[in-house]
Amino acid sequence: MINKEVAKMLVKQINLELHSGYLYMEFANFYEEKNLPGFAHWYVVQAGEEYEHAMKIRKFLLDANEKVTFSALADTDKGFKTPKDPLVAGLKHEQFITASIYAILEKAIAVKDHLTVEFLQWFVKEQGEEETNAQANIDKLEMVGTSGSALYLLDKEMGHRED
């Protein structure tokens, strides 16, 4: 039903999506430590989204009768110093994930795996949103600058994220 090499790339993508969630939970750990519970919440919600992305790919593969197995997750980035550091790392990470999705899509196009090409359209759109959100978080924090009270309010706003 789907091309074997493409299926292999999708299995790897499951690992990357789970790793994204792992990474974002590490961001949340950092923000908790910095007394920014709103930012921590935002990334806990984001980690949940990443889990959903992984499960979406898993289901697609299983529905196509492909074998799915999991492998170890890579370690997370640590050593952040300022509240902006994880946000910048988050944008870079999403750009990396977008490139990975594009690589699978390009392979699927090359081998005429139309089912996967169609399936990945959702991820193409989603990655556009992920990068926009990551950039928006950086922009907001830059706007706030070093003002403690503005950061407090921004943290409150981040804490309102529902999905």
Question: What's the min distance (Å) between Cβ of 153 and ligand OFO?
Answer: 26
The residue nearest ligand OFO at its CB is 20
Nearer to ligand OFO, 33 or 129 (CB): 129
Q: Is 50 in the site for ligand OFO (CB under 6 A)?
A: yes
From the list 131, 107, 129, the residue with the least C-alpha distance to 119 is: 107
Alpha-carbon distance 151 to 85, whole Å? Answer: 15
Nearest distance in Å: CB 112, ligand OFO: 26
Residue 160: DSSP 8-state: T
Given candidates 38, 130, 144, 155, which one binds ligand OFO under the rule CB under 6 A? 130
Q: Does 20 bind ligand OFO (CB under 6 A)?
A: yes
Does 113 interact with ligand OFO (rule: CB under 6 A)? Answer: no
Is 53 a binding residue for ligand OFO by CB under 6 A? The answer is yes
- Smallest gap from Cβ 53 to ligand OFO, in A, equals 4
Determine the Cα–Cα distance for residues 106 and 85; give it in Å rounded to an integer: 32
Tell which residue, 82, 79, 95, has the closest CA to residue 133.
Answer: 95
Q: Which is nearer to ligand OFO, 125 or 156 (CB)?
A: 125
Cα–Cα distance measured from residue 134 to residue 49, given in angstroms and rounded to the nearest whole number: 14
What binding mask, one character per residue, do residues 69-108 give for ligand OFO by CB under 6 A, x or -?
Answer: -------------------------x--x-----------
> Could you identify the residue written with the tokens 């992984």?
54
Exposure on the CB side of residue 1, measured as CA atoms within 13 A: 11
| Helix ranges, the chain (H) | 4-33, 37-63, 84-110, 114-144, 148-158
Residues that bind ligand OFO (CB under 6 A): 17, 20, 50, 53, 94, 97, 130
